[in-house]
Structure 1
Amino acid sequence: MTQTISTNQVISQAAGYIVSDMDGEKVMLSIQSGKYYNLGQVGGDIWDLIKEPVSIEHIVQSLQSIYDVSQIECEEQVRSFLEKLKEEGLILIS
């Protein structure tokens, strides 16, 4: 079982992806694998937030200022999304 991402870890984008906006949703292409990813609107917001290394806590606070969502639900959703990005090698964790 992989270790889950904790709130005090710092997350940032991995290099090597072409990202584009399509009707308010972010889509990206892995230059290395040729895979396409549709991050959606909220996923695109998270992607924008991790351009620079940032904590999950900061991501959650930023999203709560945009969306009407509880801190617990937001944190769970952010962690779940970041776990998927981690599995695909799309983020760096420190």
Structure 2
Amino acid sequence: MTDRTRAHVYVSGRVQGVYYRATTRDTAREAGVDGWVRNLDDGRVEAVFEGDEAAVREMVEWCETGSRAAEVDDVAAEYEELEGLDGFEVRW
């Protein structure tokens, strides 16, 4: 049995209008990670990843680069209790 974990992530920099959310969704789905991603009014992107601990940690690391056009300044991640999310979506 694999250890599952949850990461709640805030990404700052030039991360809106550069396909960051769509690329995050696609990358998470390929990795088998559940959760969601959305833009925040202050220009950051917020995401939650749930899944195998190694896959979730890889997604947090991936956020440091993000989509090709993104310019990431900072990634802040907190590890939390699982909520049991299923699938990965872009939230509005």
Q: Confirm or deny a common fold (TM above 0.5).
A: no
TM bracket, shorter-chain basis:
0.3 to 0.5
Q: Is the helix fraction higher in 1 or 2?
A: 1
Bigger relative contact order, structure 1 or 2 (CA pairs below 8 A, ≥6 apart):
2
Which of these two proteins has the greater Rg computed from alpha carbons?
A: 1
Normalised TM-score (structure 1): 0.33
Q: Is the strand fraction higher in 1 or 2?
A: 2
Normalised TM-score (structure 2): 0.33
